[in-house]
Chain A
Amino acid sequence: MIILETRHLTKIFPDGTEAVKDINLSFREGEFAVIAGANGSGKTVLVRHFNGLLMPTRGEVLLEGEPITKNLVRARTQVGIIFQDSDSQIVGQTVAEDVAFGPENLGLSPEEVAATVKETLESVGLSHLANRRPHLLSGGQKRRLAVAGVLAMKPRIIVFDEPFTGLDYPGVVQVLNQVLSLHRKGHTIIMVTHELEKVLAHADRLIVMHGGEVAEDGPPGEVLGRVGRYGVRQPYGNRPVETMTWIS
């Protein structure tokens, strides 16, 4: 079943930059797609259309066949985006408060909010830090907190924008494990990254953006050989896709 679809999606910024051009993509429910591409190729702009944070100049985004503009709140709860910079996503003064932010926006009762926060923190393994100040967490913990903030909205599609930037080896492994466990639980995963060697073994699909357009789209094994042309480093020559993971 197609859960998310873009049709002729084009975004032209007021300054004339054509950031994405005529994008037609569809994502199946439960899919794990990786979007790669050089800096400035339009990856971030593209994914920010998926829950209506950016509105297209032309074209539309459909969630289960319905244009997201019909019900933005639904789009924002169903499609969770985890931004590149975890720091600027933190709105609470404690870890628990930060996770509560989303459910409170949805107007859940205080008991429901508390239950959701507890459950979400347990699922990302941050329960013991519930009362800490978020800004004092480590990089990997902050990213997990950002994931928790999104998970508390109970999304079906989770978009990660460069989830590995600035993380050390254990940090990457933590985040990767979390992504995989979310995928196993049935979430649709869309991950923007150019660090293919860390994750590609787990993906069903590799999309390569180039100059605002989709240049390649297909099974990782097929596409991988051609990524070099689009400013994405092909990891270590001709390694098989199955070895591209940081989880041993």
Chain B
Amino acid sequence: MDQLNVFHYMHKDSVIHRMDCRIKLGCMVLLSVTASFASTWADFGILAGVFAAALLGSKLPVAALLRELRFFAFLILLVFLVHSFSVPGQPVQSVPLPGLTVEGVTSGLTFAGKLLLIIILCVVLAGTTPLSLLGKAVEWFLRPVPFIPEARVATMINLVFVLIPLIFSQAGEILNAQKARCVERRKNPVKRIIFLAFPLLFQTFKKADDLALAMEARCYSEKRTKAVFKATPVDWGILIFSAAVFLAVFFVT
């Protein structure tokens, strides 16, 4: 899991990497809302074009990312199948399978399409934005909201993403160590989960403890240096373009 590149920041010099993080976040929200409302072929055509442009414009290694996205193919297929067989309606003439309906297939396709679009959006966002910057952008949006300690929220977002890869590699190591001691001969899956979960939990808490200590040693405080964001005309242009896509999709539907 920690070897995967998908959803990891990759440093490149592209328009999307250089974007003001607040505006990028705004565009992403706008576009994902748009994607979740998409329904006609035209909508999907427009969005697919825009997203492909974003993916190419981000200079991320598209081929490698697409290969890694195959892990999501199963999920997307599942969504499609569940819809195809669960939505009531006209049976499909050419494929006489019980439960398969025209409405189901259409709805399955739309949902699978939306899912795919949103995953691509996440890949672009994660690949072009260091998460700490994302945290800082969220912090910026939270600044005017009273009673929310925005610095703490930003740190929490940051730490979650530092800890997750560690936890995965830890789980892999524990599992390997147990395989070396023939855990596979245990037939009871519950037992095996317990064997994995306890050391993992224990080590994760220890890691979190160590991390807290290391942060304290480096004077962690919530009065930290605040990020300074600067939006360029290009950023505004991209935001306006995203808004236009949003309106176009709503207009077409």
- A residues with CB within 8 A of B: 51, 53, 73, 76-77, 80-81, 83, 85, 87-94, 97, 101-110, 113, 131-133, 135, 149-150, 153
Contact = CB atoms under 8 A, between A and B. Distances in A.
B94 interface: no
A150 B224 CA distance: 17
Nearest to A51: B217
A94 B130 contact: yes
A87 B130 CA distance: 19
B228 A97 contact: no
A158 B226 CA distance: 28
Contacts of B68: none
A91 B214 contact: yes
Interface stretch (B73-81, B141-149, B160-168, B187-195): B160-168
Contacts of B8: 133
A105 B221 contact: yes
B217 A53 contact: yes
Contacts of B214: 83, 88-89, 91
22 contacts: A51-B217, A53-B213, A76-B216, A76-B218, A83-B213, A83-B217, A88-B211, A91-B158, A93-B161, A94-B9, A97-B132, A101-B218, A101-B220, A102-B218, A104-B224, A105-B221, A107-B224, A133-B9, A135-B2, A135-B169, A153-B218, A153-B219
Nearest to A89: B214
Interface string B147-185: 000000000001101100110010000000000000000
A88 B216 CA distance: 12
Contact of A110 (B2, B169, B220, B228): B228
B220 A105 contact: yes
B227 interface: yes
Contacts of B217: 51, 53, 76, 80-81, 83, 150
A240 to B, nearest CB: 37
B245 to A, nearest CB: 30
A107 B149 CA distance: 16
B130 A105 contact: no
Interface of B: 2, 8-9, 11, 130-132, 158-159, 161-162, 165-166, 169, 207, 210-211, 213-221, 223-228
Contacts of B226: 110
Contacts of A109: 225
B162 A93 contact: yes
A93 B224 contact: no
Given A102-B218, A105-B219, A110-B228, 19 more contacts: A53-B216, A73-B219, A83-B210, A83-B213, A85-B210, A89-B210, A91-B211, A91-B218, A92-B162, A93-B158, A97-B130, A97-B132, A104-B224, A105-B220, A105-B224, A107-B221, A110-B226, A135-B165, A153-B218
Contacts of B2: 135
Contacts of B225: 103-104, 107-110, 113
Contacts of A73: 219
B11 A88 contact: no
B161 to A, nearest CB: 6
Q: Which of A90, A92, A93, A102 gathers most chain B CB within 10 Å? A: A93
Contact of A150 (B131, B162, B218): B218
A64 B19 CA distance: 47
Contacts of A102: 218-219
Contacts of B216: 53, 76
Contacts of A110: 225-228
A195 to B, nearest CB: 22
B140 to A, nearest CB: 13
A93 B215 contact: no
Nearest to A136: B2
Contacts of B131: 93
Nearest to B9: A93
B7 to A, nearest CB: 12
A93 B130 contact: yes
B218 to A, nearest CB: 4
A208 B2 CA distance: 41
